[in-house]
Chains A and B, each alone.
Chain A
Amino acid sequence: MITRKGMLIDVSRCMACRACQVACKQWNQLPAEKTHFTGTYQNPPGLSAKTWTIVNFIEPEEGQMRWLFRKQQCLHCTEATCVSVCPSGAAKRREDGIVYFDQSICTGCKYCVESCPFHTPKFDPIGGTVKKCTFCLDRVLDGLEPACAKACSTGAIVFGEREQVVQVARQRQEILSKENPGEIPRIYGEKELDGLGVFYLLPERASLYGLPERPRMPIEKVVFKWAIGIIPGLAVLYGLWRYFGKERPSSEKQSEAIGGK
């Protein structure tokens, strides 16, 4: 039986050493990016076709010295928007929950880039395709854990069978709520979008970490949108039927009177 793979990112243990970022670049042979200082230690500025994971440095309060860290990457959704919108069938979801883009099929239409609720896939103008984290599919197939999980120095990244990793998250949730009574950290992604492959343990509001509080597939109300578009179209069509269907002999005379000058 194929078991679902899962990864926990326990942000309470992350100290932003960025070993995961470096390991990802090394294993996937992704080149460095030319950047410049933008006033934060977060570097490069965001995900790109060459940077598949990045530690976000968040300063939630203006002027106060408090940092939140979140490792950003593809969350390998169960209800994966990229897979459902891909017009060429390049975006695929395996039975073990790994979502990957078949680079030989991708045409570079960028529809997934516009549609992902977490803004993960990025277009690579040189190769002409869209790229993102593959969950280190090549490593996982060989029984290894993804490069970022292997490199994590604090145990903030836990990889394994999803069921077991959820249990780890529950234990950590319990420990943290004992340390800080009254505050129960959220396991973000346990249920969201029918369960994310990569989920977070968040001691604070999800939106503070740059995540949507209630993530949704943008495609979900699409039938409704078709209907709302068709209705005024039909209204105009009805108007044309009324107009063209009527006898109107006067128009010929009118034109003769004014035309021909």
Chain B
Amino acid sequence: MEHIIWGIPVAFDLFLAGLGAGALLLAIAADLFGGRRYERITRTGAVIAPLPVIVGVILLVVDLGRPLRFWEFLFRRGPGFLMVNLGSVMSIGVWLLTIFVILSLVYAALVLFGWPFTWGKKVRQGVGMIGLVISLLVAVYTGVLLASTANPVWSNLFLPAVFVVSALATGIAAVIFVLAFTHIYGARANVDPSIPELEKINSRVIGLELLIVALFVLVRINSPSLIMILGSGYGLLWWVGIIGLGLVVPLIFGIKGRVRRPQTSAVVAALVLLGSFFLRYVILIGGQI
């Protein structure tokens, strides 16, 4: 296992950062494009978003060789104050994550408690607009970080695209899961009407993801390292767990947007979440063996 340089904590971070970014993006999109009709989606997404990213950042810091030196990423020694290296995807990522955490907390507060002064809606939408850009960039960064290394499996042109679409599907699934869960445990009497709608949306997103995952594999179909992963034990996880249970099942499940029992919705959303984690796990860990 000494080849594994970036281990399980990094796999969790890639997953959690994607989840948070996807949830915030959905929340803001529902607010900006749909307005009050989709308030439940906005509220749920906004509340979900900050925590996973905070946990992901903590995991990244703990995974450092010297965790207490994390501030070297933020502040520069000598001339200049902030440490920004535009040639380093990780440096860009550190700042994106930092901005995301602050912004998502502000947005959640605005959605839950409102704005005590005038222009309340405008402020929320303004923060939302910036949040839309930042959450999209956070989702892209997780892929570009791996794609810009010397690793033959990761340096795939389509890796950032896979991670972005997967992040959005994960965020949507997380919102579905929470909505269904709050219903099961009696917080609401009726099945939330946004659940079947989100499942329908996610079915389309997952369709796009399957297409991009196919491109990701096809451009490297001759690469010995990729063949080795997909032919090993990771291959079973990949084809059955990630592609089958994590993508194809939720794709078919949500294709018509039918109203279903919330228990079933929660299970299918959990499949998306698990598949999305293992997608990153197989690419990250499998790529280093």
Residues of A participating in the B interface, judged by any CB pair closer than 8 Å: 81, 84-90, 105-111, 113-117, 119, 123-125, 127-130, 218-219, 222, 224-226, 228-237, 239-241, 243-245, 248, 251-252, 254-256, 258-260
Contact = CB atoms under 8 A, between A and B. Distances in A.
Interface in B246-268: 259
A259 B189 contact: yes
Interface string B35-70: 001100000000000000000000000001110011
Given A110-B5, A123-B65, A222-B89, A229 B212 contact: no
B201 interface: yes
Given A90-B72, A108-B69, A114-B149, 10 more contacts: A85-B90, A87-B85, A89-B72, A106-B72, A225-B143, A235-B208, A237-B132, A244-B33, A245-B33, A255-B190
Contacts of A125: 65
B243 interface: no
A145 to B, nearest CB: 30
A128 B65 contact: yes
Contacts of B34: 244-245
Chain B interface helix/strand/loop/mixed: helix
B88 A111 contact: yes
A254 B257 CA distance: 11
Given A225-B148, A244-B33, A88 B140 contact: no
B147 interface: yes
A235 B149 CA distance: 26
B23 interface: no
Contacts of A256: 190
A228 B191 contact: no
Contacts of A230: 136-137, 140, 164
Contacts of B38: 244
Contacts of A109: 64-65, 73, 90
Given A114-B149, A251-B193, A228 B77 contact: no
Interface centre among A115, A233, A248, A256 (most CB of B within 10 A): A233
- Closest A-B pairs by Cβ, 9 of them: A108-B65, A229-B160, A128-B65, A244-B34, A259-B190, A255-B193, A229-B140, A88-B72, A259-B191
A229 B196 contact: no
A33 to B, nearest CB: 12
19 contacts: A84-B85, A87-B73, A87-B90, A90-B72, A107-B65, A111-B149, A114-B5, A114-B150, A226-B140, A229-B143, A229-B144, A229-B160, A233-B164, A239-B201, A239-B205, A240-B29, A244-B33, A259-B259, A260-B190
Contact of A218 (B29, B140, B148): B148
B89 to A, nearest CB: 7
A107 B164 contact: no
B165 A233 contact: yes
Contacts of B73: 87-88, 107, 109
B11 interface: no
Nearest to A119: B150
Nearest to B198: A243
B199 to A, nearest CB: 12
Nearest to A115: B149
A59 B194 CA distance: 64
B234 interface: no
A123 B160 CA distance: 26
Number of chain B interface residues as a range: 35 or more
B108 interface: no
Contacts of B37: 248
A260 B262 CA distance: 11
Contact of B89 (A85, A88, A106): A85
B143 A106 contact: no
B94 A87 contact: yes
A129 B72 CA distance: 13
Contacts of B150: 81, 114-117, 119, 218
Given A87-B91, A244-B38, A123 B33 contact: no
Contacts of B161: 228-229, 231-232
A74 B30 CA distance: 52
A128 B65 CA distance: 4
A130 B6 CA distance: 13
Contacts of B137: 230
Contact of A225 (B66, B87, B160, B259): B160
B83 interface: yes
A110 B66 contact: no
A236 B208 contact: yes
Interface in B177-196: 189-194, 196
A88 B159 CA distance: 25
A237 B136 contact: yes
Contacts of B192: 255
B212 A107 contact: no
Nearest to B259: A258
Contact of A228 (B6, B157, B197): B157
